[in-house]
Amino acid sequence: MSQLKDKVIVITGGTGSLGKVLTRRLLRNEHDLPRKIIIFSRDEAKQHQMRVEYQQKFKVADEAIYHNFERMIQFRIGDLRNYPSVCSVLKEADLVVNAAALKQVPSCEYFPFEAVQTNIIGVENIVRAIQENNLPVETVVGISTDKACKPVNTMGMSKAIQERILIVANIYAPKTRFICVRYGNVLASRGSVIPLFHEQIKNGGPLTITTPEMTRFLLPLERAVDTILAAIEEAKSGEIYVPKIPAARIIDVAKSLIADRNLEIQITGIRPGEKIHEVLVSEEEAWRTYERGDYYSIQPMLPEIAKSTGLLNPLRHAYSSGDSLMTPEETRQLLEKYQLLTYAKPMEEEYLR
């Protein structure tokens, strides 16, 4: 039986890019349809917009909220930072996907304790609610980031602590399976480099590159959701799932988008807290990382949680976007595959149409 069929699924931060696309995917497969999807966030405006979209209303009116608790997709106002609020929304949950986060690197640098409150205390509230109230939650999935691997900025540091809180929770609340997924920036999502390049092209350039050596994994939003669903179906307690994905030089991405236009590329220098290469598995983690089909599985460090891997060979080396790069032509073909060579709305908006 599917881990999703007839379940009550809570998506914290569900009005964000990932939450919206994950919700759409959950509704696609009628054979494994959840019983209820609860979108939990503190932004009433985004909730109202998402609610109206799912009700296919053409006029945004207040009455759209009525009968909210009778629908398959429910919207709950609340804050992950608030323990009673978290307890309330989790009391009927079978599965929790924690997509709530402060994820903008500069914002977290200027307001580090705000990142702590959401990315660390918020996830601790989930664990505490389950443990202290003996809630029958089957699985909790934490959404992490490449920046949690060998972190150099506040956002990555807070996400690294989030991973550890969820992993050790398997000891404190053993009836619940706590797992994580870790991946990099999502291709063409809001705030990523491709929409920026499109806007710069639209305005006649120049296209700004921090350094010619900069590389990134190119992860489609659909693949990010695949990773979450694969982890839900397959991951063991305490594991971190990492997708195997292609990588490219950002300058090759820019040149592919420019095509035959006469536009300048301007080198601006590395920004504070930025890495030249994304790293999804560190050298130290590699010795407890194993292939799991299209994914890598990072085993928990704690011996009470780690499962025996038998005679399997570990990865043995770091998994970095600088390791194996696509050629400029392969980069162009991938962008063409996802219809990104011409201007498009951010990817999560396209999935909601």
pLDDT tens, the chain, 353 aa long = 588 999 999 999 999 888 999 999 998 887 889 999 999 999 898 998 888 887 765 444 444 455 555 578 999 999 999 999 999 999 999 999 999 999 888 899 999 999 999 999 999 999 999 999 999 999 999 999 999 999 999 999 999 999 999 999 999 999 999 999 999 888 767 667 888 999 999 999 999 999 999 999 999 888 999 999 999 999 999 999 999 999 999 999 999 999 999 999 999 998 888 889 999 999 999 999 999 999 999 999 999 998 766 657 999 999 999 999 999 999 999 999 888 887 655 554 444 43
Residue 166 CB neighbour total at 10 angstroms:
25
Residue 260, amino acid:
D
| Active-site annotation, residues | 147
pLDDT of residue 107: 92
pLDDT of residue 190: 66
Angle, alpha carbons 54-99-101 (nearest 5°): 120
pLDDT of residue 309: 63
- Cβ proximity of 317 and 171 under 8 Å: no
- Cβ proximity of 81 and 117 under 8 Å: yes
HSE, side-chain direction, 13 A CA sphere, residue 4: 22
pLDDT of residue 345: 54
The ranges assigned to domains in the chain are: 8-184+219-243+279-318
d(CA 168, CA 315): 23
Cβ neighbours of residue 319 closer than 8 Å, sequence gap 6 or more: 242, 279, 280, 281, 286, 289, 296
pTM for the full predicted model: 0.90
d(CA 290, CA 307): 12
- Cβ proximity of 286 and 318 under 8 Å: yes
pLDDT of residue 58: 44
Residue 264 CB neighbour total at 10 angstroms:
11
d(CA 299, CA 308): 10
- Cβ proximity of 342 and 195 under 8 Å: no
Tell me which H or E stretch contains 109.
helix 105-110
pLDDT of residue 191: 67
Overall fold of domain 8-184+219-243+279-318? Rossmann fold (3.40.50)
- Phi first, then psi, for residue 102 (nearest 5°) are -95, 115
d(CA 62, CA 248): 46
pLDDT of residue 61: 44
Residue 42, amino acid:
R
**Beta-strand (E) ranges in 170-306?**
177-183, 207-209, 215-217, 240-243, 247-249, 265-267, 279-281, 289-292, 295-298
